[in-house]
Structure formats: structure tokens, C-alpha cells
A and B are shown apart, each in its own frame.
Chain A
Amino acid sequence: MLRIQITTGNKVPIYQQVVDQVRASIASGGLEIGSPLPSVRALATELVVNPNTVAKAYAQLVRDGVLESQQGRGYFVAKRREIYTKAERNRRLDEALQPLVAEALVLGFDKDELLQAIEKHFRRLVK
């Protein structure tokens, strides 16, 4: 299931909140590969946000390879592995890991504690 909650007065613009939460729904298995997303208008009405904002978020997700748009049928969760090369996936993972490890070191966690924390989050997302 797609769960999105929009907050106003946030430093994160609304379209980015939609992008982040669609990504999170996919990461947590709430939205499976190939499953359809609500239409731009339906989601805009549901979230009470400007339709162009939703369209902008969907466009960004398509550019990022998270969604694919099928002419006349709407938006679907893309098969991610086909989108990125192995090298690109490694690059993106490194990019996400580097600040995480740096933060953990600053906060005084050791390697085992960090690995345990990662495992905990992994289990939470992947059932």
C-alpha cells in the first residue's frame, strides 16, 4: 500500500515529500514491482495538493527509474534492476553509506553496533 502524508511548513518541498514517500513505500515492500500508482489527479485530490506538484514528483520518479509510465495506462513501479547498471547501483549505495558511517563514527558507535543497527532496519523493511 502507498502511504503518503504531506506536511506543510516543512523545509522539504511537497513534491519532494511525495518522491521520498513513494520511494519509501517501495523500499518497504508496501508497493511491489509492477503495481500501479494512483493517477496524478486521484493522488492530488487525496493529498489535497496541486496536481502539478504530483505530476512533478511522478516525473522525477520516472527519471530516477523508480516508476515507469505506460502510455494511457498510468504509472507503475519499475523493475529497478533493469534500470541501473551494477556500477551505478554500487555508486548509489556508496553515496548513501558514506554519510551514514561518518555520522556513526562521530556519535561514537563502533563497527559491530553499526552493523547491528543496519540489520535491525533491514529486518524492519524486508519481511
Chain B
Amino acid sequence: MSRDTGSNQSVTAETHGQDANSGGNSSQLEHAIRLERLTRYFGAKPVVKDLDFNVLSGKVTALLGLNGAGKTTTIRILMGLLSPTRGRAITLGEDADQMPLQTRARIGYAVEGHFLYPSMRVSQCQDFQRAGYKRWNEHLFQDIVRHFAIDPSAKISTLSRGQRAGVSLALVLAPDPELLVLDDPALGLDPVSRRALNETLIEFAGHGQRTVLLSSHLLDDVERIADRVAVMVGGKLKVDTSLDEFTSRVTLYSARCDGEPPSTISSIPGLIELRRLGQHLHMAIADVDQETQAALERLALPELEQTETTFSQAVMAFLTRERGDASFFSRPIHAYASNSDSDSSGDTV
């Protein structure tokens, strides 16, 4: 829970060295995925911009961000489904843009709305899919299918959305992948299917040495499942740290403010969100230190109060970032550059 940034940086440096030396042997890779200065344009628009992001092996990492933040583009690039404009993605030690088939077979990948032939029966889906894999855990497939209350002889077309998600998940997990990549797996699922999904992911992660990267908008689920959180804003990585540490590093402040907030308020070090609600200012500040406290004292805000934050409040602070006035829907992004981003990228739980 403490932020010993000094030692974190040295951990990051060491792990980079190991990766470079360990070649293609994924079981020893410190990072299942490495993104180096990854950039992707669609037309003139950069959707992912100079993204440096390493996904630690053996952990569940949640990739968070608003729609359009670049999560899906990032995932498609690291799966080798899309070429980067610049930079590169190394997945299980291989350049994702030229991923060999045998490496692809070690990765489980599921997207919302995964295509399944409507006229096939669930058991036929399994037979169809397993032909492409050397390893196939039939028991696991059946366990997951049962967990989602699916009749293996049912036709896909008769299944609910949640049950189809269950079939997709079973198909993706049965080959016993080392790396599981899920793009918004809970989208549109009812609470019971979501719980089954979460339970299945926890079972999978509990085997150890398995790496999970999932994008999600469901912060309560992420809080339960993830070891680490990465937050993307506007194609850039703004947070990459352990979940508990992330929460403990964001502090909420409120203060009374009758007129306009002082213009110097945006200079508070670490300020990530500022908004006005009635006669109060609400601020979220990352990595509060002496400098931050001195800046707050200089502003002499009346009725200044400090509270701890919950995980979802901390995420929301990064995602909304309203500043200055009461316009809740404008999102000028110019605060909180990156002083904690690089510091936090290497720490472990």
C-alpha cells in the first residue's frame, strides 16, 4: 500500500532486462504482453498514441477507459488482428503483427458477440473448435457449460445471450490458454451470467501462471477480479498499478466555494478531477504529498475536507476529469500529465 516509487523503478528496469534475454520461452516471461510506443491512426486520427504498457504474467489486469479511449484497438493490435502505425506489440514473446500459429494457439481471445453458428448444437461447437487445437480440456468445457446452465445438446439459436457468452468462454478456455484476452466480456450479460463469468475467470486465474487481460466498464466486477488496473484516456495510458495501490493513491477533497474557484486551483500537483456541485468544489488528487498540501494551504479553501476513495471513485476521477466550472459533460484533458504513470508501472502486489 505504500508508494515506494524508488524501488518500483528498479523493478521495472530489471524485468525489462529479463524479457530481452528469455527469448520465446513464455513460461519465464515477466510480461505476457509488451507494448512499445504503440501508435495507431485511423485516417488522421490517432486512436492509440505512444502507448508503453506491459502486462504482468500470472496476473489479472483490467484495461479501463471510456468508449473511444483506444482499448479495443490496443487489444486488436496485441492479438495481431490489426497492424500498428508505429511501435510494436510483443505477445507471449512474439511480434503480434507476425504471430506464429502455435503462439496464437496459446492465447484465448473472446469478444462480445463472438460468432457461433446458430444451427449448431453446443457439443458440435466443441467438436468443430477442438480440431484446431492440440490441447483440449473436455471436462473444463463441460464444467463451464454446466456452470452457465446450458444443455450441451441445445442449439445455439435457442440460447440466451448470457448462455452464448458461456459457450464462447468455454470454447476459449478449453484449450487451456496461457494468456486470456477478453474485450468487454460482460457486455449485455444479466447478473446471473455475469456472476458465472466472474466465477469462471477466478477459477481460471487461480490455476496460477495464467495471465488475463480484460477490458470492462463494470467497475464492481473489476474490483473483485483484477490484480491490476490500467486506465486509458484518449489513447494514452494514465494508470498502471495494482488495484489496491491505485485506490489508495487517489484522495478526494471537498471545499466550500461560493463564487468562481480560484484560477490557480488547476496548478495543484496531482489534481485529476475538479468539479463544482452546488456550493462545493470536489477534487480528486493523485499521490498527495507535501507539495500538494502546501498548494492546498496556499489556496486557503474554506471547509476543506479530505476523504478516502473507493475503487470506482478513483477510476471515475480519471475518466471524467471535469475541470473548473459546472459543465459536467465537457472534458478538457490537460491536467495530471504523467508523474505517477511511469513510477507505478513496475510495482507488484
A residues sitting closer than 8 Å to B (CB atoms) are 6, 8-11, 13-15, 40-41, 44-45, 48-53, 56
Contacts and interface: CB of A to CB of B under 8 A. Distances in A.
Interface in B230-255: 244, 247-248
Given A45-B202, A45-B203, A50 B247 contact: no
Does more than half of chain B's interface fall in helix, strand or loop, or is it mixed?
A: helix
Contacts of A9: 219-220, 223, 310-312
B198 A48 contact: yes
Nearest to B242: A52
Interface of B: 59-60, 195, 198-199, 202-203, 205-206, 219-221, 223-227, 244, 247-248, 307-312, 349
Which interface residue of A8, A52, A53, A56 has the most chain B CB atoms within 10 A? A52
8 contacts: A9-B310, A44-B206, A45-B202, A45-B206, A50-B60, A50-B224, A50-B226, A50-B227
Nearest to A13: B244
A50 B309 contact: no
A51 B203 CA distance: 9
Contacts of A53: 227
B180 to A, nearest CB: 14
A63 to B, nearest CB: 14
Contacts of B349: 52, 56
A28 B232 CA distance: 45
Given A9-B310, A52-B349, A41 B206 contact: yes
A8 B224 contact: yes
A40 to B, nearest CB: 8
Given A9-B219, A56-B349, 16 more contacts: A6-B224, A8-B219, A8-B224, A9-B223, A9-B311, A9-B312, A10-B310, A11-B308, A13-B248, A14-B223, A44-B206, A45-B199, A48-B199, A49-B202, A51-B205, A51-B206
A9 B224 CA distance: 10
B220 A8 contact: yes
B71 to A, nearest CB: 20
